[in-house]
């Protein structure tokens, strides 16, 4: 009845604001309708309780939309009707799905409805729906941050949830919305620690990272008494041999003032409950626990994470890269942790370049007098690699080893000198740079090496190496008085053709020789300074004027002239070769910021340890008096207390003395307290047993884990209070008792269950760490692992290729052995070695193309090149670098791209407008073009404030792709999928100058933006890339046959691209 009059009124309506329309809009409210009353009748129908009216309203709204009318103001009412019904559905999956859909609608107008739905779902009986509510919180916060206060209330409510399903999701919401509200965690801290083992993997990662930051604000540093000693040790490691006695006395005084450290029980609870997660199959969980232990655990306990991290090195290359970044940082401060696993960091020929360099970093950090002999032999092999970046990094690593370990300095130096006769110029150049740094430590003993390096100036063309040789000759010209002037004479001849860095060192050499040997070098110096006076580079002109006034006495020269010799020939400190990871640990390990070594958006700083411990009582949960102790708990206490007592079994009188002054409130939970405090020590004993067992495989470990969990479940039904057994059985009984309590309570009284379980966890955690407070017990804990640390940790690795020898004392004379000198003498770079995993995309010279000639552009010339770097705005676009030069006498203003007319599917991202370009100036900008994997040109207008120029950019097929990391097996697997019509083969003859490995790789990578793939065969070269737009694989194989014959094969599902690529590569190889 109510619908018919309303329907009768719908015969007329208004098409725009206040404008009458006599049309047939079935949804308008009358002939004349003002905007504020529009759709009121439909809203009333949607809000009614009758389904028939709602259905009728929906029909009218659909009809309106079909006619193109604006119905956006009805959106909240429709959403409310569609979502609300499903949110009240009896099926939990439908309720959760409805909330997920509702929270995914990014329209601000429905924020109030979304907030109501989240509040209702947070109180839902189903934990799955509550978990979905936690997921919806960050979505709503990103849509409307003004709702923060209401959302915090919901988060606080969900944090109190006792189900493992909700815990990870609500902590994620907490981290997104209010990470600063640490007060919300206090009451839930112990519960989160106890639930952690059963939360899903990604929830574990989030909770562990949050608890790491929480612990840094609430507990004292467990290594505070060792921090001063550690600092002084670090100074000694980096070569500061002189010690200030005043500082030493101050350090000793401050150590004496510090109180003996007692670990907070809640701190111990966190460490104990995260330790089993080191066996997780998820690499992110293992990494999260490793960073927690590194940042929070006492120094003596951090070593347990090494085995787990080494296990991750058997995973994919992406996981290896992240793990090795963190291991490289850890190995600087905790070197002993990874020494037993040295061979796990040896480099394989199939490793990508990035992995090789990181493993090299770790090996260099782990080098000491005991293992340096083995490590240098390993480096000798690496120098033969074809991967130039890796070879350069190896030479730098040898230099670092020589700097840090004085006994092998001469051996390393002699080995590097042998490399100076290598046929590869890059190896020689890198060796020169490293030798220069090493010679600064003992220049007087190595005048022969300086003479040898002086001869290399005729052959070496790398600017940095030439500059290093000239600096050495100038700095130590008194050691080579006959050679230095002759080197200056040669360099004066080629001065105008040298690079700027070399010219500056030639000027310095001339000045130093003028001051020490003016008879021979006076005229040469004047000649060099005159050449530099008119050089194109203003730095060189300024340096020449400055040095002329300084060294040549004139009437105008001031008092500085007297001190010229002291200025130029002052004693310079030897450089300290340090690891690039030295100061990275101020970022939280495992974070993106640590990986990039730069603060990423959203990164939260790891707080410093507090000087005084905050009040631990904030984590206590109040328990009603009537639930404090049941008769069953009393019986259990009588039976278990003598068996679990730490004071009898482990720490003796020290423990009882420590626990005497505890408050009366803690006595109420004494039974669970004593059992949990012992479980820490028992777990360590259990770990020792596991480590001693040795030869188990990973599969057996997983089976053992499952069996343990099954036993824990059975323990909840049949836990025998007085049964004696292994440490693992005692833990199961403890767990079983807790679960039995929960089961019993849940049958009748919900509040009883909550309070008793909270009491159990609170009392357990509050006393579990009290045993660690005594120093006597700490010594006892350290003693057993140290007695069998060597073989037991090694055997747990289960690495097939790893059988390390037992540690043996090495005499100092054997370290600097003559065999090492002979080993390093034969260091050569051969072409038969395995190829690197990836060659830098910028291997060949970047080719430039003309976009606008200066004649056509009326003085404005534009060139472009493909930079082969990812375009920052969109990974599916090719980055095009454009260089604009103003060759006119007037300013060019408002340079921009206008009216891009790409073909269908193509997209162009214009460069930012250049407001003004002065006469003679050049501007460089980057624009992105999505060519849709096609070589068709992208057309657009280049505009100034006065003119428009029609231009187009046509890409070579090789620039439509990006290099791909791939192993040899992956390459073969993918190649097997791309056969038949996806495979193009071409036979060709290689010219004589293009038959070396270096020339072939250079020509292929200059023709196409591809990455090198390792290959075991000497006569094959493999490359891989993917198209920028669609990500289709492009695989290239070049096989050399007898003589100059070769066969090129390209596999790609894009046949057109494959055909064009074959043509381009054949053309490049024929040049």
Cα 473 to Cα 549: distance, rounded to the nearest angstrom: 23
Question: pLDDT tens for residues 677-706?
Answer: 444 444 444 444 444 444 444 444 455 555
Question: Is the per-residue pLDDT at 636 higher than 50?
Answer: no
| Cα atoms in the 13 Å half-sphere on the side-chain side of 665 | 9
Task: Check whether 171 has a pLDDT greater than 90.
Answer: yes
The listed range with the strongest mean pLDDT (239-253, 434-448, 764-778) is 434-448
DSSP 842-887: T-SPPPEEEEE-TTTTTTEEEEEEEEEEE-TT-TTSEEEEEEEEE-
Condensed to tens digits (0 to 9), the pLDDT of residues 895-933 reads 998 877 777 778 888 888 998 999 989 999 999 999 888
Exposed, middle or buried by CB within 10 Å (0-12, 13-18, 19+), for 331? buried
Interval 1033-1068: pLDDT, tens: 999 999 988 888 899 999 998 888 888 899 999 988
Tell me the Ramachandran region of residue 789: left when phi exceeds 0, alpha when psi lies from -120 to 50, beta otherwise.
alpha
Q: What pLDDT was estimated at residue 958?
A: 92
pLDDT at residue 705, as a whole number: 53
The mean per-residue pLDDT over the stretch 865-874 comes to 88
Average pLDDT over residues 578-601: 81
Round to whole Å and give the CA distance between 610 and 612.
5
- Residue 956: what pLDDT? 92
pLDDT for 1025 equals: 94
Q: pLDDT by residue (tens digit) across 450-459?
A: 777 777 777 7
pLDDT score recorded for residue 884: 92
Dist. CA 1028–CA 961, nearest whole Å = 5
Q: What does pLDDT average to over the chain?
A: 74
| Per-residue pLDDT tens over the stretch 257-301 | 556 778 888 999 999 999 999 999 999 999 999 999 999 998 888
Beta strand 914-917 pairing with 892-898: antiparallel
pLDDT at 56: 86
Share of the chain above pLDDT 70, in %: 70
**Count of beta carbons in the 10 Å neighbourhood of residue 751:** 10
Between CA 66 and CA 57 the distance in angstroms is 14
Give the model's confidence band at 254: pLDDT under 50 very low, under 70 low, under 90 confident, else very high.
Answer: low
Please count the CA atoms within 13 angstroms of the CA of 220 that sit on its side-chain side: 20
pLDDT over 70 at 765, yes or no = no
Residue 567 pLDDT exceeds 50: yes
Query: Phi-psi bin for 858: left (phi > 0), alpha (psi -120 to 50), beta?
Result: left
Residue of higher predicted confidence among 571 and 811 = 571
pLDDT mean over 877-894: 90
Percentage with pLDDT > 90 across the chain: 20
**pLDDT higher for 307 or 679?**
307
The distance in angstroms from the start CA to the end CA of the chain is: 89
Asked if the model's pLDDT at residue 841 lies above 50, the reply is: no
- Give the model's pLDDT for residue 82: 67
- What pLDDT sits at residue 410? 80
pLDDT digits (tens, 9 = 90+) for 73-84: 788 777 777 666
Question: Lowest mean pLDDT: which of 163-172, 236-245, 665-674, 955-964?
Answer: 665-674
Contact (CB, 8 A) for 392 and 357: no
State the pLDDT at residue 771.
42
pLDDT confidence of residue 672? 39
Mean per-residue pLDDT, 490-498 = 88
Q: How confident is the model at residue 154 (pLDDT cuts 50, 70, 90)?
A: very high
pLDDT at 555: 63
Taking a C-beta distance cutoff of 8 angstroms, is the pair 593, 599 a contact? yes
- What are the strands of the beta sheet with 914-917, ordered from one edge? 914-917, 892-898, 938-943, 948-953
Give the Cα separation of 791 and 325 in Å (integer). Answer: 27
Q: Mind giving me the DSSP string for 422-472? A: -S-HHHHHHHHHHHHHHHTTSGGGGHHHHHHHHHGGGT---HHHHHHHHHH
Residue 542 near residue 599 (C-beta atoms within 8 A): no
Q: What is the per-residue burial (b if ≥16 Cβ within 10 Å, else e) of 141-168?
A: bebeeebeeebbebbbebbebbebbbbb
Secondary structure E strands in 328-442: none
Q: Residue 1015 burial (CB < 10 Å; 0-12/13-18/19+)?
A: middle
pLDDT for 7 equals 40
Catalogue the long-range contacts made by 194-198 (C-beta closer than 8 Å, 24 or more residues apart). 194/269, 194/273, 194/761, 194/764, 194/765, 195/162, 195/164, 195/167, 196/167, 196/273, 196/274, 196/277, 197/273, 197/276, 197/277, 198/164
Q: What is the mean pLDDT of residues 419-443?
A: 78
- Which 3 state secondary structure label does DSSP give 319? helix
Q: What is the pLDDT of residue 444?
A: 62
Instruction: Say how many CA atoms lie within 13 Å of 538 toward its Cβ.
Output: 0
The arithmetic mean of pLDDT across residues 347-351, rounded, is 88
pLDDT of residue 258: 56
Contact status, residue 267 vs residue 190, Cβ threshold 8 Å = no
> What mean pLDDT is predicted for residues 516-530?
84
Give pLDDT, residue 37.
56
pLDDT at 226: 62
848-852 and 860-870 as β-strands: parallel, antiparallel, unpaired?
antiparallel
The pLDDT assigned to 251 comes to 53
Comparing 1011 with 842, which gets the higher pLDDT? 1011
Contact status, residue 928 vs residue 879, Cβ threshold 8 Å: yes
The more confidently predicted of residues 830 and 518 is 518
Q: Phi and psi of 665, rounded to 5°?
A: -65, -30
Q: What is the pLDDT of residue 803?
A: 42
Tell whether the torsion through CA atoms of 217, 223, 228 and 231 is positive or negative: negative
DSSP string covering 554-600, please?
-SS--GGGGGHHHHHT---PPPP---TTTTGGGSPTTSHHHHHTSPP
Q: Average of pLDDT values for 775-784? A: 43
pLDDT of 319 above 50:
yes
Distances (CA, A) of 452 to 456, 485, 490: 7, 15, 16
Helix%, strand%, coil% for the chain, nearest 5: 60, 10, 30
Distances (CA, A) of 368 to 298, 405, 791, 804: 24, 7, 20, 16
- pLDDT category at 597 given cuts 50, 70, 90 is confident
Over range 300-328, report the average pLDDT.
Answer: 90
Whole-structure pTM over 0.85, yes or no? no
């Amino acid at each position: 009845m109510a619908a018919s009059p309303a329907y009768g009124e719908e015969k007329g309506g208004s098409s725009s604001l206040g404008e009458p329309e006599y049309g047939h809009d079935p949804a308008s409210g009358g002939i004349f309708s003002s905007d504020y009353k529009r759709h009121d009748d439909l809203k009333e129908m949607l809000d009614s309780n009758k389904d028939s009216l709602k259905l009728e309203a929906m029909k009218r709204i659909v009809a309106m939309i079909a006619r193109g009318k604006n119905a956006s103001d009805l959106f909240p009412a429709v959403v409310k009707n569609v979502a609300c019904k499903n949110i009240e559905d009896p099926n939990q999956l439908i309720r959760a799905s409805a909330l997920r859909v509702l929270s995914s609608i990014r329209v601000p107008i429905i924020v109030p409805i979304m907030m109501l739905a989240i509040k209702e779902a947070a109180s839902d009986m189903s934990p799955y729906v509550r978990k979905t509510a936690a997921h919806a919180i960050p979505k709503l916060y990103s849509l409307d941050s003004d709702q923060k206060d209401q959302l915090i209330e919901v988060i606080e409510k969900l944090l109190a949830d006792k189900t493992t399903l909700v815990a990870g999701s609500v902590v994620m919401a907490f981290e997104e919305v209010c990470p600063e509200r640490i007060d919300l965690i206090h009451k839930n801290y112990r519960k989160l620690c106890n639930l952690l083992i059963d939360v899903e993997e990604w929830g574990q990662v989030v909770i562990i990272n949050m608890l790491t930051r929480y612990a840094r604000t609430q507990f004292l540093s467990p290594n505070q008494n060792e921090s001063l000693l550690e600092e002084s040790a670090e100074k000694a490691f980096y070569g500061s041999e002189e010690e200030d006695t005043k500082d030493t006395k101050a350090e000793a005084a401050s150590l004496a003032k510090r109180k003996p450290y007692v670990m907070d029980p809640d701190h111990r609870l966190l460490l104990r409950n995260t330790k089993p997660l080191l066996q997780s199959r998820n690499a992110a969980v293992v990494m999260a626990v490793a960073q927690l232990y590194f940042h929070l655990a006492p120094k003596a306990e951090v070593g347990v994470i090494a085995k787990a991290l080494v296990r991750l090195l058997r995973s994919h290359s992406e996981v290896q890269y992240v793990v090795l970044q963190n291991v490289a940082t850890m190995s600087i401060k905790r070197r002993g942790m990874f020494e037993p696993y040295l061979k796990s960091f040896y480099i394989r020929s199939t490793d990508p370049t990035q992995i090789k360099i990181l493993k090299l970093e770790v090996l260099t950090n782990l080098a000491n007098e005991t293992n340096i002999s083995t490590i240098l032999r390993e480096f000798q092999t690496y120098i033969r690699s074809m991967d130039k970046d890796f070879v350069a990094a190896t030479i730098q690593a040898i230099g670092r080893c020589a700097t840090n370990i004085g006994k092998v300095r001469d051996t390393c130096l002699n080995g590097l000198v042998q490399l100076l006769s290598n046929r590869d110029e890059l190896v020689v150049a890198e060796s020169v740079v490293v030798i220069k740094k090493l010679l600064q430590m003992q220049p007087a003993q190595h005048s022969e090496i300086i003479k040898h390096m002086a001869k290399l100036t005729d052959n070496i063309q790398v600017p940095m190496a030439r500059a290093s040789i000239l600096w050495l000759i100038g700095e130590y010209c008194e050691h080579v008085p006959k050679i230095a002037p002759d080197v200056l004479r040669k360099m004066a001849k080629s001065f105008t053709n040298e690079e700027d860095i070399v010219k500056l060192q030639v000027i310095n050499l001339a000045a130093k020789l003028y001051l020490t040997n003016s008879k021979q070098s006076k005229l040469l110096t004047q000649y060099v300074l005159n050449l530099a006076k008119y050089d194109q580079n203003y730095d060189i002109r300024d340096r020449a004027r400055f040095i002329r006034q300084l060294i040549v006495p004139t009437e105008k020269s001031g008092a500085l002239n007297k001190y010229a010799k002291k200025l130029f020939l002052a004693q310079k400190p030897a450089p300290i070769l340090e690891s690039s990871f030295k100061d990275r640990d101020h970022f939280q390990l495992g974070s993106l910021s640590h990986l990039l070594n730069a603060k990423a958006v959203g990164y939260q700083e790891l707080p410093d340890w507090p000087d005084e411990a905050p009040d631990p009582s904030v984590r206590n949960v109040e328990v009603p008096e009537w639930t404090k102790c049941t008769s069953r708990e009393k019986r259990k206490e009588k039976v278990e207390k003598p068996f679990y007592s730490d004071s009898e079994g482990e720490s003796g009188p020290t423990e009882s003395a420590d626990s005497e002054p505890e408050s009366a409130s803690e006595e109420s939970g004494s039974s669970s307290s004593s059992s949990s405090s012992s479980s820490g020590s028992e777990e360590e004993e259990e770990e020792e047993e596991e480590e001693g067992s040795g030869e188990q495989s990973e599969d057996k470990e997983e089976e053992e884990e499952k069996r343990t969990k099954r036993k824990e479940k059975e323990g909840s039904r049949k836990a025998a209070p007085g049964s004696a057994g292994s440490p693992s059985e005692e833990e199961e009984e403890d767990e079983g008792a807790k679960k039995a309590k929960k089961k019993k309570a849940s049958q009748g009284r919900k509040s009883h269950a909550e309070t008793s379980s909270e009491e159990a966890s609170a009392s357990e955690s509050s006393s579990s760490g009290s045993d660690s407070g005594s120093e006597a017990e700490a010594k006892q804990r350290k003693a057993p692992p140290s007695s069998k640390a060597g073989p037991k940790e090694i055997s747990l690795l289960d690495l097939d290729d790893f059988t390390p020898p037992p540690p043996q004392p090495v005499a100092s004379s054997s370290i600097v052995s003559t065999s090492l000198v002979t080993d390093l003498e034969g260091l050569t770079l051969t072409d038969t070695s395995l190829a690197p995993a990836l060659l830098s995309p910028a291997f060949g010279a970047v080719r430039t193309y003309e976009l606008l000639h200066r004649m056509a552009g009326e003085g404005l010339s534009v060139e472009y090149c493909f930079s082969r770097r990812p375009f920052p705005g969109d990974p599916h676009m090719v980055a095009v670098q454009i260089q604009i030069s103003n060759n006119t006498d007037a300013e060019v203003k408002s340079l921009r791209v206008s009216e891009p007319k790409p073909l269908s599917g193509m997209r162009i991202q214009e460069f930012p407008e250049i407001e003004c370009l002065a006469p003679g100036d050049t501007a460089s900008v980057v624009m992105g073009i999505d060519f849709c994997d096609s070589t068709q040109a992208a057309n657009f207008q280049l505009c100034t404030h006065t003119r428009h120029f029609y231009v187009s950019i046509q890409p070579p097929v090789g620039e439509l792709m990006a290099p791909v990391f791939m192993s040899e097996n992956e390459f073969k697997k993918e190649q097997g999928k791309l056969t038949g019509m996806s495979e193009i083969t071409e036979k060709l003859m290689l010219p004589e100058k293009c038959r070396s490995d270096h020339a072939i790789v250079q020509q292929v990578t200059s023709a196409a933006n591809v990455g090198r793939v390792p290959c075991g065969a000497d006569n094959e070269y493999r490359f891989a890339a993917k198209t920028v737009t669609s990500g289709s694989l492009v695989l290239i194989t070049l096989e050399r046959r007898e003589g100059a014959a070769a066969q090129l094969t390209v596999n790609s599902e894009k046949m057109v691209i494959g055909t064009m690529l074959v043509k381009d590569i054949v053309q490049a190889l024929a040049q």
